[in-house]
Amino acid sequence: MIYLDTTSASSWRHASGLARVSRRLLHELGPSARAARWPALRSVPGRSDWILTPELFSESERPGITAFIDRRPCRFAAIYHDAIPIKHPSITWPKSVERHPGYMKLLSKFDRVWAVSAASRDELLGFWRWQGLSYVPQVDVLHLGSDGPGVPRAQAPSAGHAPRRIVSLGILEPRKNQMLLLDAFEELRREGLPMELHLVGRVNPHFGRPIAQRIGRLRSQGPGLHHHPSLDDAGVVGLVREARATAFPTLAEGCGLPLLESLWLGVPCICSDIAPVAANASAGGCVVVQGNRLEGWKQALRAVVTDDAVHARLAREARMRALPTWAETAAALRRVFG
C-alpha cells in the first residue's frame, strides 16, 4: 500500500502547485494509495508499505519525524520540488526559509526521491554534496502531468480568433515577477495596443501587497487589467481557453505547471528563460523571453497579441506536441512501488 502524505494539502483551499500535485496523485494512484496525515501516519504503514510525501516538513513542525524515519517501519519516498527558500530567502515566506535546509537534509534518509525537473534534481544532489553526506538515495526526474481533472486536451483551434487576452496564473509575489508583466502591459497600453491582462492568484500576505497596490493604480488609469484572487478550477480553465496566450515571467520554479497546463488547453505560453521552465517550453507552443527583460516581454506580447500567423503557429505547436499526463506520472511511481 502507498500512504500519500496529505498532512498540509488536506486543509488547503488554494490551488498552489504543491496542492495540485497532491490532489492529482491521490486521484491517479487510485486504490493503490490512501491519504494519511501526521501524526496518525506513524501508526498505519507496515514493512512492505511505502509512505510517499510531496509535502514540505521539518522536525519542529512534525515532532518525532526524524526518529520515525530512522526507525524504518516502512519504505519512504518523496517528491522534491525546489530549493527556492534557500536560493531566494528575501522573497520567500520566513517559515519556509527556516524549514528548508532541514527538510532537504531529511530527504537524504529516504529510500527514493523524485525531483520535478532535471534542474531540481541537480540542486538537491548538489546540496547533499555540500553537506558532505556519505549516503544518499537515488534521485530520478518525475514528469508532472499537464491535464486537469476532467479537462480534455484541446484538439482543434477555437472558433474564430482568440481575443487579445493574456492570462497569468500564480500567487501575487515577487518570485512570480508580476511587476515585470505589469510594466510591459502599462507601456504597451500607453503605446496604444488594445489588450486584456488577467492576473489569477491570491496575494502573498508577506510580499504581495505592493503588487496588489500597483494593480489598483493601473486599473484606475485605464481599461484592460483584471485581477481574479479566487477563481475555481472551472473558472480558470474557461478564462485560459479563451486567451490569446498565458504569461509566466517567473524568477524561480521547480517545474512550472502553469506552462504545461496552458499547453494542454491549446493556449501558447510566453515565459521566462529559467532552466525548468525553458526545458518544458523547448518542444514548442511557447515564446521564451531571453533574459526575462522588459523589451523582450513587450516584443513577445505584441507579436502574440497582434500577429495572427504567429499566434496560429504557436497554438498549433501547443496542440500537437507531446505532453505528460497525471496518469503517466502515477504509473511511473507504481512501477517502483510495485
- DSSP assignments along 124-158, one per residue: HHHHHHHHT-S---EEEE-PPP-PPTT-PPP-SPP
Q: For every one of its 338 residues, what pLDDT tens digit does the chain have, with 9 covering 90 and above?
A: 999 999 988 777 767 778 889 999 999 999 999 999 999 999 888 999 999 999 999 999 999 999 999 999 999 999 999 999 999 999 998 899 999 999 999 999 999 999 999 999 999 999 999 999 989 999 999 999 999 888 999 987 765 566 899 999 999 999 999 999 999 999 999 999 999 999 999 999 999 999 999 999 999 999 999 999 989 999 999 999 999 999 999 999 999 999 999 999 999 999 999 999 999 999 999 999 999 999 999 999 999 999 999 999 999 999 999 999 999 999 999 999 98
Q: Which residues contact 235 (CB under 8 A, 6 or more apart)?
A: 228
Type and span of the H or E element at 283: none
Cis peptide before 85 (omega within 30 of 0): no
Place of cell 475555481: 232
C-alpha cell at 324: 505528460
What pLDDT is stored for residue 19 in this prediction?
Answer: 85
Q: What stretches of the chain show up as alpha helix (H) in DSSP?
A: 17-29, 65-71, 84-87, 94-106, 118-131, 178-190, 209-221, 233-241, 257-264, 275-281, 294-306, 308-320, 326-337
What pLDDT is stored for residue 274 in this prediction?
Answer: 98
| Phi, psi for residue 228 in degrees, rounded to 5 | -120, 95
| Phi, psi for residue 153 in degrees, rounded to 5 | -75, 140
Look up the pTM and report it: 0.94
Burial class (CB in 10 A: 0-12, 13-18, 19+), 141: middle
> What domains, with CATH codes, occur in the chain?
2-145+325-337 (3.40.50.2000), 165-320 (3.40.50.2000)
Q: Which residues contact 173 (CB under 8 A, 6 or more apart)?
A: 91, 204, 206, 207, 208, 211
Closest CA to 167 of 129, 132, 201: 201
Amino acid at 113: V
| Phi, psi for residue 42 in degrees, rounded to 5 | -65, -25
What pLDDT is stored for residue 158 in this prediction?
Answer: 61
Half-sphere exposure of 282 (CA within 13 A, CB side): 8
What pLDDT is stored for residue 160 in this prediction?
Answer: 52
Place of cell 479563451: 242
d(CA 259, CA 256): 6
Q: Which residues contact 102 (CB under 8 A, 6 or more apart)?
A: 58, 59
What pLDDT is stored for residue 84 in this prediction?
Answer: 96
What pLDDT is stored for residue 161 in this prediction?
Answer: 64
What pLDDT is stored for residue 133 in this prediction?
Answer: 93
